Structure 1
């Protein structure tokens, strides 16, 4: 739901035009069988003799960037690289190449590791995103200055190789490739300042890689590599599916609308233990939608939260709720706020951690079985993932506790605090860092908001993130590509396809239902989609993703399908 400002407003004239144009194309089949020549095998191209680049060795160069300038480290015996008091150690272990840092007196900002060697020509590379994707993931050729967060995959025409760091690193890590080698950058800043370790040594990250195997598709290779990077994901014991009210209500929700959704979802969902979730998004908090706290009560539209969760369960559904726990509200004392960022809570302040843990515990105590927390990345770092790039956050700002821990360590501690507060509830992270969420949260949003008002936004954000990040599904967490809304503003023939793809992809399925837009046709489609999602499906695999940012050809449960995402007039060239 985060980045609400992107999806909440769309010109009515454009919506009318889209609806009229799409209606003229209703005679075209919604979902057609894939052309016979397509298959699940890796796409054919010029094959390199050996595209794999071995990173399980000492790098050829290490630099550190400090508050006083940059230094090139000298290589010594035993994997030690030194400059004055700063020491970077690399050690090959069974789990990968461990990288550690010590620097008693130097404020270290970044570490650069470089492996020299010819990178086989003709390869295509796929990187990840810091938090959610923004409709911009794609396979590309060599772009030397391209920052690829956390990991990247390289397809050499025959095999797909993986390079990355294990999940849960103590630094924000990104990769670069060029014709002469591969670089890893580890941002170890504390806030926007250099890290001051003192006598402490920092385990920065563990570098891992995986050579591709003959006959496996790029998607299968990437999924296997994701499992390697996160050997112990935290997964729910059931498939997550249901309803989230944001994409039709946009904050205009209530206890009554929540119960109405619960009754409808329960009636359309298959019988059995795995009941659908009905998630209350922004709008329930005492100050009203968009006010971000406090979270110790609710407003007049939600007069009895414990009673509401009980009623949702009686209706045959599971209650869920949204919260934005890291944004400061007016009554918060200044020492609880990040210095210089008065709208954001500082997660290094003990009272803030206690408050966030108590807020999560309160929601669980009210009876909510799923807690979706939002906006923590932009609250702490001041940027959405789309604007982080290689800089990640601004320079100079700092946490209240000082410069003794990296920002990644602070975020990991915050996530563990949220996890502890939620108890047995399923936790869904939104606007959270992917590699830091893995192994802590059961589910994560993998893309920016879809929309109940503009199909172009759903096409761009939803299809792209599902195609390029579903390989993380059940490896890092359960992937949530965001909502499949049923509203009057989005043409049904487009919504029907998106609903069908998400339900068959094995990812989290949330609908958002304007009850006045749900007729017999929609009910039947929902019944089928909810049954698929409740049962759990094999991972949906994009087939044409090496060629487009918006794949239309998919392998779903062994069946090939083709979708038509574009409107008759084509995709919007404007920001959506």
Structure 2
């Protein structure tokens, strides 16, 4: 890729469509039009620092969505790669030329000699998705509060900052050049990632225990991880996953989060014992799901009475106190999970362009869904900062990465791998690693999930997954029951941990434009070819 070959494609949209609580208004704009008015709603544009800020202001009219159209952005044949709302589900891929809708946050179009990129800066105040319509490009800015139009009350909302670029590729026009262009654009969208110089690696007990564990077993996991990483100065995290909370059962995995159950005992003492084993304690929790009877009714989400409403200030303070409690116990990494599902009532692959089902809104009608989610992530990020010792690291899971970039050191960027079924790991893990590698170090540490080592999965398959993951530069977690591996397998695991404990440049999936599950990789250690 020619470093001098980047060209800014940004210009004012050719058409604007506004959808409010009661009407739909369309207007074709002049190329230099800086504003559009319909009733008491004003849409304005301002160019700065290579981006186009989109502002919406309304006094009384509830605003639902803006659709901006740029005409004739393409020429010739090409292929398209879009992002997803939250995690990947084994469905990320370059698609042959066709019209595509519902591409959240950003997308790329590769055509002969160049890569075109369209996106919005991270942490916008709208849920943003792109539509490719022939040669035209449309950006949908969903500013609803739940399923209702937001009531701005005269407030001027910066909905998003749009960025567009064309990257000139060298004559070879290789998949590596396209990859580099896409990563460069991710850096354009996020100029403040909070993951610099952060290496996240270690163990997680989920994929062999699946919630059936105890303090005794966690300490056994910690001792085993310490043995596998003996001599490594950068000590690993041992992350205690779901199952420690007092109300845990086969049918419930929510809070409260202020005390462990009888199998775990004193959670602060457990963290100290883990640290004595020479590992860094980590812990999982689900911040928005709590059926406790003492939770006030006004804290509950209209859509689901067991879920917190993140627009309520007292709810955010409650979550901040949870984070501070986990940190005070001594846990150095906190993995927060399920929040996208809890807010929207569906998984990312189910959200489509409607995002959620039913008719509901947050308690605060004056904020957009995107604004509220960003604030939720900000509260977690702020609560993890420590005055008396090193900040607690935040690892998101089932989070909206584009809204959380800069507010978490790591993010689980794909759906679960498996300790039972290799095909699930192949589908979810490898696809995620390849296609969300664009976000590694540019947004956060892009965690493609664990190597689940059990008797159910062929070691020869798992060791390949373990090697590419350890050499990828991304967060690296292994879920293995102590005593399961033989001596030669333990040596391979030790070597994987040694690699993962050090910072490395992002690995490149060399055949990512040909398949969903790349088998040809370029890592810091050289070229790798696998048989997944």
State whether residues 8 and 50 of structure 2, in contact with CA within 8 Å, keep that contact through their aligned partners in structure 1. Answer: no
Report the alpha carbon displacement of residue 335 of structure 1 after superposing the two structures with TM. 1.6
Kindly indicate whether residue 446 of structure 2 is the aligned counterpart of residue 479 of structure 1.
yes
Kindly indicate whether residue 12 of structure 2 is the aligned counterpart of residue 61 of structure 1.
no
Residue matched to 2:319: 356
CA distance in 1 between counterparts of 2:506 and 2:112 reads 23
Give SS of 1:182's match: strand
Give SS of 1:90's match: strand
CA distance in 1 between counterparts of 2:134 and 2:260 reads 57
Q: 2:279 aligns with which of 317, 324, 329?
A: 317
Q: In structure 1, list runs of 5 or more residues that go unmatched.
A: 1-40, 43-50, 566-576
Kindly indicate whether residue 475 of structure 2 is the aligned counterpart of residue 469 of structure 1.
no
Q: In structure 2, list runs of 5 or more residues that go unmatched.
A: 171-175, 386-390
Report the alpha carbon displacement of residue 74 of structure 1 after superposing the two structures with TM. 6.0
Give SS of 2:315's match: helix
Matches within 5 A, 1:490-569: 490-557=457-524, 559-565=526-532
Residue matched to 1:3: none
State whether residues 246 and 512 of structure 1, in contact with CA within 8 Å, keep that contact through their aligned partners in structure 2. Answer: yes
Describe the superposition over 1:391-441 as per-residue Cα deviations: whole angstroms up to 9, x where unpaired: 11225201112x200000000111111112222100000000010110000
State whether residues 221 and 481 of structure 2, in contact with CA within 8 Å, keep that contact through their aligned partners in structure 1. Answer: no
Number of residue-to-residue matches in the alignment? 516
Describe the superposition over 1:297-325 as per-residue Cα deviations: whole angstroms up to 9, x where unpaired: 00111112111111111111100000001
CA distance in 1 between counterparts of 2:278 and 2:73 reads 59
CA distance in 2 between counterparts of 1:238 and 1:152 reads 27
State whether residues 142 and 177 of structure 1, in contact with CA within 8 Å, keep that contact through their aligned partners in structure 2. Answer: no
Deviating more after overlay: 246-255 vs 551-560: 551-560
Kindly indicate whether residue 337 of structure 2 is the aligned counterpart of residue 377 of structure 1.
no
Report the alpha carbon displacement of residue 236 of structure 1 after superposing the two structures with TM. 5.5
CA distance in 2 between counterparts of 1:422 and 1:253 reads 26
CA distance in 2 between counterparts of 1:551 and 1:78 reads 45
Describe the superposition over 1:166-186 as per-residue Cα deviations: whole angstroms up to 9, x where unpaired: 001000101111323100001
Residue matched to 2:198: 238
Describe the superposition over 1:224-264 as per-residue Cα deviations: whole angstroms up to 9, x where unpaired: 11111101100164310000101110001111111111112
Kindly indicate whether residue 357 of structure 2 is the aligned counterpart of residue 394 of structure 1.
yes
Q: 1:428 aligns with which of 368, 372, 395?
A: 395
Residue matched to 1:18: none
CA distance in 2 between counterparts of 1:163 and 1:340 reads 33
Report the alpha carbon displacement of residue 142 of structure 1 after superposing the two structures with TM. 3.3
Describe the superposition over 1:25-61 as per-residue Cα deviations: whole angstroms up to 9, x where unpaired: xxxxxxxxxxxxxxxx99xxxxxxxx99964111000
CA distance in 1 between counterparts of 2:134 and 2:303 reads 42
State whether residues 259 and 266 of structure 2, in contact with CA within 8 Å, keep that contact through their aligned partners in structure 1. Answer: no
Q: 2:54 aligns with which of 80, 85, 99?
A: 99
Report the alpha carbon displacement of residue 326 of structure 1 after superposing the two structures with TM. 0.3
Kindly indicate whether residue 135 of structure 2 is the aligned counterpart of residue 180 of structure 1.
yes
Residue matched to 1:304: 266
State whether residues 118 and 179 of structure 1, in contact with CA within 8 Å, keep that contact through their aligned partners in structure 2. Answer: no
State whether residues 9 and 166 of structure 2, in contact with CA within 8 Å, keep that contact through their aligned partners in structure 1. Answer: no
CA distance in 1 between counterparts of 2:96 and 2:37 reads 35
Residue matched to 1:88: 43
TM-score, scaled relative to structure 2:
0.94
Cα separation, partners in 2 of 1:322 and 1:275, compared to 1, 3 Å = same
Give SS of 2:181's match: helix
CA distance in 2 between counterparts of 1:345 and 1:276 reads 33
Matches within 5 A, 1:40-189: 55-73=9-27, 75=29, 79-117=34-72, 119-189=74-144
TM-score, scaled relative to structure 1:
0.87
Give SS of 1:535's match: coil
Matches within 5 A, 1:253-268: 253-268=213-228
CA distance in 1 between counterparts of 2:73 and 2:404 reads 34
Give SS of 2:226's match: helix
CA distance in 2 between counterparts of 1:82 and 1:74 reads 12
CA distance in 2 between counterparts of 1:396 and 1:482 reads 34
Residue matched to 1:205: 160
Residue matched to 1:30: none
State whether residues 36 and 42 of structure 2, in contact with CA within 8 Å, keep that contact through their aligned partners in structure 1. Answer: yes
Report the alpha carbon displacement of residue 118 of structure 1 after superposing the two structures with TM. 5.1
Kindly indicate whether residue 376 of structure 2 is the aligned counterpart of residue 414 of structure 1.
yes
State whether residues 470 and 496 of structure 2, in contact with CA within 8 Å, keep that contact through their aligned partners in structure 1. Answer: yes
